[in-house]
Structure 1
Amino acid sequence: MNLALFDFDGTITHNDTFSLFLKFSLDRKTQLVGGIRLAPYIAGYKLGWVTDKTIRTKLCQIGYVGYDANSLKDMGQEFAKKVLPTCVRENALERILWHKEQGDQIVVVSASLGVYLESWCHSLGLDVICNQLEIHNGILTGHFIDGDCGYLEKVNRIKNKYDLTQYPTIYAYGDTPNDYAMLELAHKKYYRWQEID
């Protein structure tokens, strides 16, 4: 059995599902207030001064603090059923199914939110490592459990969950610098669906 590691947004999907889910799950007022509060960070991101990791963290702190955890879970399942299928690249799904036919262990490793990503992955029989929102007494705190699952943290979580020496061949698929460290784990690396050395 080999191991196949897939990034989600931009690799399996043709767009960013994190921002789509924010629009899906947050009311208009929260979106407007959040947009105003995030404006300096977004400007900094566009200028290269702020990372996408910081943006994700701030978005969740502003958008989900005080949110009912069960309500968001229900929204996540609805989003996974109704919206995610329209976002998935056909070639990505074909590649996932090919790995399944080979009997490979398939893991989606993403900085997206588990509240919707887990439901989609489990429906296909895939493992998932992703951002988990912290819950206290049934209410979201707006923080991630164990921090943001991007960049080197993807590698840390993969190594914590899987013994990489047990896999004859490791495949990895990514599309941004966020995935470089994960790609370095692989014998066969695919960046934006092109095999690289």
Structure 2
Amino acid sequence: MTKVYFFDFDGTLTKHDTMFMFLRFCDLNRFSAKFLLHVPLFIMLKLKLAKAEKVKRHFISSVLKGKTENFLKEKANEFFEKNYPNLIRENALDFIQNIDRTQSESYIVTASLDIWVKPFAEKFEMNLIATETEFKNGVFTGHFKGPNCNGKEKVKRIKQILGDKKFDKSIAFGDTSGDKALLKYANEGHYKFFH
């Protein structure tokens, strides 16, 4: 029986959200200064007066724009070394290690940026579907390639990548409203399964 697994990353596999962690890790001084400037936007977000994608894009851009791809890749690897395996939920780790790889494919499907999730996906031997960082001449433009990989966009991206591939069963794991479409799309959707 062939299976395909879809795992959300932040909060599902990890104990904490990784965006703030990674941005802080990359450039603490810039992070602190920009965080204070963004507090009104974060408040508007909590009150549902601002769009999450816009605020996220703006904040990431304010901290990382202009950094080179090499610098960010290096930082992503250091971030992984520093936080693996402690950042990952123990039962999620057990589950991943026990997947039968001969009969299945596994994907991390995340709204987080590909740049810092990639080392985790590689460690788990999983394919990565994420919000994509846009580089021009080896420098981060402050923009994403395409939409934020969240909500219905997760399903859209999965369908694009899987194409005509057929599996007997699809199993998805998520932990927020941004994963609802994904959990509904799979034959078997698990909410907060590893919590």
Instruction: Give your verdict on TM over 0.5.
Output: yes
Runs of 4+ in 1 over 4 A off after TM superposition: none
Give the corresponding residue for 1:139: 139
Distance 2:157 2:53 in 1: 16
Give the corresponding residue for 2:88: 88
User: Cα RMSD between the aligned structures?
Assistant: 1.7
Please state whether the residue corresponding to 2:149 is helix, strand or coil: coil
Give the corresponding residue for 1:187: 187
Q: Which sections of structure 2, spanning at least 5 residues, go unmatched? A: none
Please state whether the residue corresponding to 1:72 is helix, strand or coil: helix
Moved more, 88-97 or 47-56: 47-56
Residue 33 of structure 2 corresponds to residue 47 of structure 1: no
TM-fit CA distance, 1:152: 1.1
Residue 13 of structure 2 corresponds to residue 12 of structure 1: yes
Distance 1:50 1:87 in 2: 29
Please state whether the residue corresponding to 1:150 is helix, strand or coil: coil
Query: Could you tell me which amino acid in structure 1 is paired with residue 39 of structure 2?
Result: A
Distance 1:102 1:191 in 2: 26
TM-fit CA distance, 1:39: 2.0
C-alpha distance after superposition, 1:98-139 (max 9, x if no partner): 323573211000011211211111122111101221111111
Distance 2:72 2:57 in 1: 17
Q: Work out the number of aligned pairs and report it.
A: 193
Q: Which sections of structure 1, spanning at least 5 residues, go unmatched? A: none
**Any conservation in 1 of the 2:96–2:124 contact (CA below 8 Å)?**
no
Please state whether the residue corresponding to 1:128 is helix, strand or coil: strand
TM-fit CA distance, 1:164: 6.9
- Map residues 47-126 of structure 1 onto 2, 5 A cutoff: 47-100=47-100, 103-126=103-126
Query: Could you tell me which amino acid in structure 1 is paired with residue 86 of structure 2?
Result: T
TM-fit CA distance, 1:3: 0.6
C-alpha distance after superposition, 1:35-93 (max 9, x if no partner): 23312210101212224323321112211111122111100011112214211001111
Distance 1:84 1:146 in 2: 29
**Any conservation in 2 of the 1:64–1:140 contact (CA below 8 Å)?**
yes
Please state whether the residue corresponding to 1:142 is helix, strand or coil: strand
**Any conservation in 1 of the 2:23–2:64 contact (CA below 8 Å)?**
no
**Any conservation in 2 of the 1:100–1:106 contact (CA below 8 Å)?**
no
Q: Percent identity over the alignment? A: 30
Distance 2:187 2:69 in 1: 39
Moved more, 77-86 or 65-74: 77-86
